[in-house]
Amino acid sequence: MRIFLGADHAGFELKEKIKVFLRELGHEVADEGAFKFDPADDYPDFMEVVAKQVAADPDSRGIIFGGTGQGEAMCANRFKRVRAAVYYGSPRAESRGDESLDIIKLSREHNNANILSLGARFVGEAAAKQTIKLWLETSFSGEDRHIRRIAKLDYKLKSETRF
């Protein structure tokens, strides 16, 4: 699978580790930046590129990284055909890994999320790997009710971006 990555300064270090992990899993990885640590960079610059790439390639996915993942997902979700889900961890994700990850599965099964936004200040490397692996392995259910709801999301976005 082709996976586009993007991060600002807060997510840069985790992105670099996940890039190696994804390649080890056999995925084609396209790094859309940041390409160096710059504490003055702005996350929309990188998230826009990932969102446009994922929107143009329906068989791809994106993973974006920031401090909380919230602003990054807000940026990505401004683009038609993009459904970014945020995950910034759970105290149980590292220790138990059970229902705390249900949100990841449901983001794929119900919402067909095509971008995963991770809060690097809250998700460690081990939890990020576990979360990403589950997210990549989980399929969209394809149920009519979910297809209908996703279509309504794109209909409400009149243009490619609202910047």
Tens digit of pLDDT for each residue in 101-126?
A: 899 999 999 999 999 999 999 999 99
DSSP assignment, residue 99? G
Q: Residue 116 pairs with which residues in a beta bridge?
A: 63, 85
CA–CA gap between residue 81 and residue 42 (Å, rounded): 23
32 in catalytic set: no
Average pLDDT (32-42) is: 97
9 in catalytic set: no
Q: Which residue has the tokens 């790439």?
A: 53
Q: Give the angle subtended at the CA of 106 by the CAs of 95 and 96, to the nearest 5°.
A: 10
pLDDT of residue 163: 46
Q: Indicate yes or no: pTM above 0.75.
A: yes
Average pLDDT (61-66) is: 98
Going by pLDDT thresholds of 50, 70 and 90, the confidence category of residue 153 is confident
Q: Is the pLDDT of residue 145 over 90?
A: yes
Go through the domains of the chain in sequence order and give each one's CATH number. Answer: 2-156 (3.40.1400.10)
Average pLDDT (52-76) is: 97
Q: Which residue has the tokens 């390639």?
A: 57
Write down the catalytic residue from 9, 32, 48, 72: 72
Write down the catalytic residue from 27, 94, 110, 146: 110
